[in-house]
Structure 1
Amino acid sequence: MTAHAAPTFTVVHEVAGRMRLRSRRLYDPALDLAYLEALIGALPGVDEVRINRWGASVVVAHDGRPETRARVLNLLDHVPPDAYAPGNAGREEVSALTVTGQGLAAALTPFAPQTAAAPASWLMGAPTLLKGLHTLLYDGVKVEVLDAAAVGFSLLRRDYFTANAIVAMLGLGGYLEHWTEKRSDDLLKSLLRPAVEEVSVERDAREIRIPFDSLTVGDLVICGAGELLPVDGVVVDGDAALNQSSITGESLPVHVSEGDEVLSGAVIEDGRIKVAARAVGRETSMARIGRFLENSLRTRSASQKRSDELADKLVPVTFGLGLVLFVLTRDVSRAASVLTVDYSCAIKLASPVAVKSGMHTAGHCGVLLKGAQALDNLSRIDTIVFDKTGTLTRGDLAVTDVRPLDGMAPHALLALAAGAEEHYAHPVARAVVAESRRRGLPLPPISQVDFIVAHGVSAYVEGERVLVGSRHFLEDDEGVDCAPVRDEARALRREGKSILYVARSGRILGVIALRDELRPEAAEALAMLKERGITTIVMLTGDHRDTARSIADALGGIDEVHWELKPEDKAAIVRRLQESGHTLAFAGDGVNDAPALLSADVGICMPGGADLARDSAQVVLLEDDLRLLAVARDVADRTRLALRRTFQAAVGFNSAVLLAATLGRISPVVSAFLHNASTLCIVSYAAAACRRRPASADFLEAIKPSQEASHVRHP
């Protein structure tokens, strides 16, 4: 039987809204308790979770509903494999009771007889000594070895008060450090709880939108391109290409059709399916929640890793200096004073606290960061590439003109185009469908719909093939002669409008013009980014050259414009900029932006973006305002500055203490006190510095005076 399979959790005590469970599974060193705690805490109805590894217990406070209790028990009975991360064990939690007992024992040591103090002190120091020996044998010279050496030297010279005082201060320091780090984890976890979502279902032969929580087993859930599959179930109609990388790790899309089983968390890259739900409830979103938690709570940025590596290299220096001093002076007290000084504690603790606090601040300002590396990269970018539609513009296209040919009625052309594009998740399609509904037009029956990403739609109406899309799609790819509408289209483009071409049976029927308004804050946002060191701003669009240039001129601050692009063109431009030495972010919101979002150093998705875009991005804006990019940059810069200052403070202060200890000016107890006090001060500074909201976020008070708490919870 594997460690992952047994034993199960047993409820040992329960009152209304609170239960304590036990399991020997918690002794498994590979089980990431912080991750498991986060998974339980992300369940709806759960208020608080506490896990004690050595007590083998889990305490869960919840809303008292039977469904919540069942969810918790189900999760603990089926702990996901992701919760096991060998070699990723965190710092051991020190209980307040243990710290209090150690402090009392150290304070009473001078008044105790030698016959009682000696065995008690060796017993009290044994865990530190054993841990140091284990670390030395398996990991080399680390901070645990320094602690064990300092305690061991004091015990050997029968200085029991010093030995016990060092153990007590190590315990107190560990307790306060764990408390500080846990607070930063809890702040971050609060951003990761899933929000209530809506899904499309078929009821009474009609497609309607209902709250996610209203789903029941047997519901027919409808999902289209770019959407996240919200349930586990069986496909009953349609076919699609599913991206299941978040569940299985497989990067290639999987084709599913009628009769295939599908799992929640998969993203539909292409197609449209109807799924009979077999499992509903928020636990089906576990893969999605787990991905955010893993990125945000487990991963470290490259900068953090470099700081940790340098801190580890300083530990042997301290250890060697202590041994040399002992050999040269035979002064055990001086050697113990040196060995209580460690650079790595402050550096390794301040770094994750600063990063998590920064991520929490960004979240409450309206920016969700998926991991430490995203924050690190944001502070280094010099270029931002914008996809025009939905980022620099509102993405709310509106139909302005319907121009048919050969006496065809405008409403007939519009209804034909809307019928073909009714289920296409693209801003242009949504605008055409919305206009047809506003006019109350009945849509013709459509069959064999084929969505060609970034080009258009092909569908059949009464046996005739209808094409709706760009001029390039109809004329270059499908061979439709668009000359009859060329002058009309050119005139409309000069007005800054986008053009949609409509053809049937290989003959052009007319054009539909649409306009997309610029975001009112876009020009200000671009100026703010320039002030923050962004040297190059690039705009990409699938629009015609005239439309693209008109928008760029209106915005100002744009250094490059690329038009009439395909999705693969966008990713290619991103790679070209990277190869020329730029560190860049890409901002987009559509299904066809996913390749570019993945290619960029930082992928940024707008709040109304498709699920595939949100899944691909490292940064998700939670408020519909481009100025949040400048806010995110400020948070990233402040976090980087805090990390640099904490590193300098840790090295500077500990070097001073080390020098004083080397010269014999301070005792081991004073040295241990100064080291632990400096660590706590540095960690507290890291948390406080990174939790302050930047002044650039003041505009948020005007746009969301009472919505901040609800928005930051959206994943």
Structure 2
Amino acid sequence: MVKNNSKKSLFKCEVVHTLSGRIRLKCFGFEYLKDKLNEIEEKLNSIVYFNDVSISYITNNILLFYDPKLIDSEEIIETVEAVVASYSIEIHKAVKEQKDGLDRSKKALEYQPLGDKIKKIGVTAATIAYYGIRKKKGLPVEQLLNTKSVLDKFTTVPALVSLGLSRDILKNGVVSLIKDKRANEDTLTTTAIVTSLFIGGDISALTTILLSDIAELLTSYTMNRTRKAIRDMLDVGDQYVWKKSEDGQINKVNINKINKDDIIVVHSGEKISVDGEVVLGEGVVDQSSITGEFMPILRIKGQNVFAGTILKSGTLTIRATKVGDETAVSRIVNLVEEASNNKAQMQIYADKFASQLLPLNFSLAALVYIATKDVKRALNMLVIDYACGARLSTAAALSASIHTAAKNGVLVKGGNFIESLSESDTLILDKTGTLTEGRPKIMSIITAEDVTEQELIEIASAAEETSTHPLAKAVMSKLYRSGWKVPEHGEALVHAGFGVETIVGSKTVVVGSKKIIKKHDIEISSEIEKQVDKLLERGDSLIYVAHGDKLLGVLGVQDTLRDNMKKSINRLRSGGIDDIILLTGDVEQQAEIMTRKMSLDSFKADLLPEDKAESVLQLQSTGSKVIMVGDGINDAPALAYADVGIAIGATRTDIAVEAADITINSDDPLLIPQVINLSQKTMDVVKQNFATTIGVNTVGLFLGAIGVLPVFGCSLLHNLSTIAVVLNSTRLMFYRFERR
């Protein structure tokens, strides 16, 4: 049996041939996993269903012998695809490197220190200012060509400065033509510099270098800001830990001195600095920075904890299983840095257009000179440049778009993200802090007979007043907003993972889960049970409140949706987004309820940050153009790997902002569809500009070739067309965001 499939996902395998007990699969991802094939083969051979597994390095096929009584072909395909998918990040890196064709010399240019770039810009600007002012009014180009030798044009002070400052760009541009047989961004810059010097425009050459260096400076600045945010995140609370020695002594030591299998002790309110296993004690841990789950969870002996999380209450003794760069929080940082390094610097439409049509000018100049022996007509072919008008008009459109977005509180880090945004068809949403506000509120109050809401909240606040638990904050927020007061009470006793108790008057107050109510033998009436079931169905977290031996009532708490989020999702669908997916570290029940409530297409729950990033890569492997919207540290890897990452919210983390391509400075989700609409409008304007540039300059080339237009006329026509498309681009500055 032979099976063909035209859509070749890198995580999919196709059946090449199958017999009973034997199957051969074609796995497209193997092409990018040459150094991992032995490892994959060993993993599959260790599975009991398979008698023998072998992978061909040449054909990227895998041959499996199996027991048909234990497993069928569909299960085999699923098993192999799951193994391939576990290498999604490695595949992603290899694909990006192949697609980009970015060599080491180009990367070295990108990572020059900021100080070096600033010095280059200073030298270039000073040279332009000094020699540009002193330079006499230039002669017409045709006279200039006849009055100055080539050597003279390339040995002026501005020309020598141009060649010296651009030596790396010149080298990389030439290497790309020789090695890759294609022009790249540096080839275009090299051509502009050399052409300017050839016609005596040494100041023009310096101006080209200045603009190129400014663009590199902005890129480097953004990357340095990302690294700074990463360092700041790792430095907070991670310098020292309490290490327990073999004789039971506890000493404060530097985190760098902690090794695998060392025992550390973490107290209430402290940050956990290693990944490890709890060996003693119990405590409530806030894992929102890693998993995104807004509710702290109980951790007891035998369970795992992550570096970067906070122990809200209790004391934990932890055996370190991963330290330093191996911890979950460090893996997040590494993922962000890798994605930033490998993310393609997408060529905008003008660069693609210019790289394809740049040889046309030189070819036409040569043909015209051969046909007419007229240097002026040949020069017309170089004066009228498609690339110049296209690049300038496109830059104007993108700049106007970024300006308009900024006026409306949306920071776009580059024009390439405008293009990517306009092409996207899939949107991924984080839950906590993105779909929701990340601040739980009391949404329902169930009271027993003869108990008022005020009495219920005040009694609950007596126990919760000193707690930092999110549910406690919801209770206190309700109390303060209602203008009520906390009654006098005794010291609060925390039962980690269950609740809190204190004394009001002469009676014990118990506030917490149903378990702590049962533990105190407090009866729950059938009427309250019925109402509680309704709250559970809609996804509320419950707080039971008892005073003495009487249950006063139950509070239903929810992490409320952002205002206008539903409206935003509807607008996204009408704007061309086909799939809207929820990825969250929260539990499956909460994710399912949210997906149903917001009419999303699908969800994945209980995800760690690297799981979110892997989900993004899997979607991209099927051809989807992915937008990721998030707000937290746990979203940073997915934001970095997505085609466009959007950080939203006034409370978003610095690392999420630095990893994202677009930052929305407010909590208004309606800005998401609005910035997508703006991107689509922008690319429409870019296409209009392209059509104008091609049309007008083609006419100019034709008229210049037949001698109707002189060099000055061709130059004037070319520049007028550029002015026209720039004016067309400025219309985007008046684009209005609609937020109703």
TM bucket normalised to smaller = 0.5 to 0.7
Matched, 1:660 2:703: yes
Candidates 648, 673, 677, aligned match of 1:630: 673
Q: Which residue in 1 is equivalent to 2:309? A: 271
Q: Which residue in 1 is equivalent to 2:540? A: 498
Report the Cα distance in structure 1 between the residues aligned to 2:684 and 2:401, rounded to whole angstroms: 11
Distance 1:105 1:446, change over 3 A: farther
Preserved contact between residue 397 and residue 685 of structure 2 (Cα < 8 Å) = yes
Candidates 546, 554, 560, aligned match of 2:601: 560
1:271 maps to a residue whose letter is: T
Distance 1:385 1:231, change over 3 A: closer
2:564 maps to a residue whose letter is: E
Report the Cα distance in structure 1 between the residues aligned to 2:590 and 2:362, rounded to whole angstroms: 69
Preserved contact between residue 158 and residue 206 of structure 2 (Cα < 8 Å) = no
**Structure 1 residue 398 displacement after superposition:** 1.8
Preserved contact between residue 390 and residue 589 of structure 1 (Cα < 8 Å) = yes
1:211-222 correspondence to structure 2 within 5 Å: none
Candidates 641, 645, 654, aligned match of 2:688: 645
Q: Which residue in 1 is equivalent to 2:663? A: 620
Q: Which residue in 1 is equivalent to 2:139? A: 106
Q: Which residue in 2 is equivalent to 1:95? A: 128
Matched, 1:604 2:646: yes
1:435-514 correspondence to structure 2 within 5 Å: 435=478, 440=486, 489-494=532-537, 496=538, 498-500=540-542, 512-514=555-557
Matched, 1:397 2:440: yes
Q: Which residue in 2 is equivalent to 1:43? A: none
1:254-653 correspondence to structure 2 within 5 Å: 269=290, 270-272=308-310, 301-304=345-348, 307-400=350-443, 414=460, 418=464, 422-423=467-468, 428=471, 430-432=473-475, 434-435=477-478, 440=486, 489-494=532-537, 496=538, 498-500=540-542, 512-538=555-581, 542=586, 552=596, 558-560=599-601, 562=603, 565-568=605-608, 571=612, 582-590=624-632, 593-594=635-636, 597=639, 600-611=642-653, 613-653=656-696
Preserved contact between residue 235 and residue 257 of structure 1 (Cα < 8 Å) = no
**Structure 1 residue 626 displacement after superposition:** 1.5
Preserved contact between residue 402 and residue 512 of structure 1 (Cα < 8 Å) = yes
Distance 1:294 1:645, change over 3 A: farther
Report the Cα distance in structure 1 between the residues aligned to 2:119 and 2:622, rounded to whole angstroms: 51
Report the Cα distance in structure 2 between the residues aligned to 1:543 and 1:32, rounded to whole angstroms: 41
Report the Cα distance in structure 2 between the residues aligned to 1:679 and 1:543, rounded to whole angstroms: 56
Deviations 1:324-350 (A, max 9, x none): 333343322222222333333333444
Report the Cα distance in structure 2 between the residues aligned to 1:598 and 1:467, rounded to whole angstroms: 42
Preserved contact between residue 177 and residue 680 of structure 1 (Cα < 8 Å) = no
Matched, 1:127 2:159: yes
Preserved contact between residue 597 and residue 604 of structure 1 (Cα < 8 Å) = yes
Q: Which residue in 2 is equivalent to 1:708? A: none
Q: Which residue in 2 is equivalent to 1:279? A: none
Distance 1:547 1:607, change over 3 A: closer
Distance 1:297 1:340, change over 3 A: farther
**Structure 1 residue 632 displacement after superposition:** 0.9
Q: CA RMSD in A?
A: 6.4
1:139-158 correspondence to structure 2 within 5 Å: none
Deviations 1:682-703 (A, max 9, x none): 45654x244x25333466xxxx
Report the Cα distance in structure 2 between the residues aligned to 1:125 and 1:670, rounded to whole angstroms: 31
2:736 maps to a residue whose letter is: A
Q: How many residues are paired up?
A: 514
Preserved contact between residue 229 and residue 268 of structure 1 (Cα < 8 Å) = no
Preserved contact between residue 358 and residue 635 of structure 1 (Cα < 8 Å) = yes
Report the Cα distance in structure 1 between the residues aligned to 2:188 and 2:372, rounded to whole angstroms: 23
SS across alignment from 2:708: coil
SS across alignment from 1:106: coil
Q: 5+ unaligned residues in a row in structure 1: which ranges?
A: 1-28, 39-50, 57-90, 153-162, 198-225, 240-254, 275-290, 450-456, 472-481, 504-508, 700-715
**Farther-moved stretch of structure 1 (326-335 vs 349-358):** 349-358
2:533 maps to a residue whose letter is: R
**Structure 1 residue 623 displacement after superposition:** 1.6
Deviations 1:660-703 (A, max 9, x none): 332233333443444455445545654x244x25333466xxxx
Report the Cα distance in structure 2 between the residues aligned to 1:356 and 1:296, rounded to whole angstroms: 22
**Structure 1 residue 529 displacement after superposition:** 2.1
**Structure 1 residue 574 displacement after superposition:** 5.7
Report the Cα distance in structure 2 between the residues aligned to 1:671 and 1:396, rounded to whole angstroms: 64
Deviations 1:484-518 (A, max 9, x none): 99755312235x46124789xxxxx9964214554
1:196-211 correspondence to structure 2 within 5 Å: none
SS across alignment from 1:534: coil
Report the Cα distance in structure 1 between the residues aligned to 2:151 and 2:602, rounded to whole angstroms: 77
SS across alignment from 1:397: strand
Distance 1:344 1:467, change over 3 A: farther
SS across alignment from 2:536: helix
SS across alignment from 2:668: coil
Q: Which residue in 2 is equivalent to 1:695? A: 736
Distance 1:439 1:521, change over 3 A: same
Indicate the structure (1 or 2) with the bigger Cα radius of gyration. 2
Preserved contact between residue 383 and residue 535 of structure 1 (Cα < 8 Å) = yes
Report the Cα distance in structure 1 between the residues aligned to 2:337 and 2:588, rounded to whole angstroms: 42
2:645 maps to a residue whose letter is: G
Preserved contact between residue 465 and residue 472 of structure 2 (Cα < 8 Å) = no
**Structure 1 residue 551 displacement after superposition:** 8.6
1:127-206 correspondence to structure 2 within 5 Å: 127=159, 167=200, 171=203
Report the Cα distance in structure 2 between the residues aligned to 1:227 and 1:117, rounded to whole angstroms: 55
Preserved contact between residue 493 and residue 500 of structure 2 (Cα < 8 Å) = yes
Report the Cα distance in structure 1 between the residues aligned to 2:669 and 2:579, rounded to whole angstroms: 16
**Structure 1 residue 634 displacement after superposition:** 1.8
Deviations 1:158-214 (A, max 9, x none): xxxxx8xx545x84697599789979999x999x999xx9xxxxxxxxxxxxxxxxx
Preserved contact between residue 409 and residue 666 of structure 2 (Cα < 8 Å) = yes
Q: 5+ unaligned residues in a row in structure 2: which ranges?
A: 1-107, 178-182, 244-262, 274-287, 291-307, 313-334, 449-454, 503-509, 516-523, 546-550
SS across alignment from 2:423: coil
Report the Cα distance in structure 1 between the residues aligned to 2:705 and 2:583, rounded to whole angstroms: 62
**Structure 1 residue 32 displacement after superposition:** 8.3
1:566 maps to a residue whose letter is: D
Report the Cα distance in structure 2 between the residues aligned to 1:180 and 1:568, rounded to whole angstroms: 40
**Farther-moved stretch of structure 1 (318-327 vs 121-130):** 121-130
Report the Cα distance in structure 2 between the residues aligned to 1:589 and 1:443, rounded to whole angstroms: 39
1:604 maps to a residue whose letter is: I
Deviations 1:343-379 (A, max 9, x none): 3333344444543442332222122234445433321
2:574 maps to a residue whose letter is: E
Distance 1:227 1:460, change over 3 A: farther
Preserved contact between residue 368 and residue 377 of structure 2 (Cα < 8 Å) = yes
Report the Cα distance in structure 1 between the residues aligned to 2:122 and 2:643, rounded to whole angstroms: 43
Preserved contact between residue 340 and residue 640 of structure 2 (Cα < 8 Å) = no
Preserved contact between residue 408 and residue 737 of structure 2 (Cα < 8 Å) = no
SS across alignment from 2:139: helix
Preserved contact between residue 462 and residue 486 of structure 2 (Cα < 8 Å) = no
Deviations 1:627-664 (A, max 9, x none): 11121112211232233333333333333332233223
Report the Cα distance in structure 1 between the residues aligned to 2:717 and 2:595, rounded to whole angstroms: 60
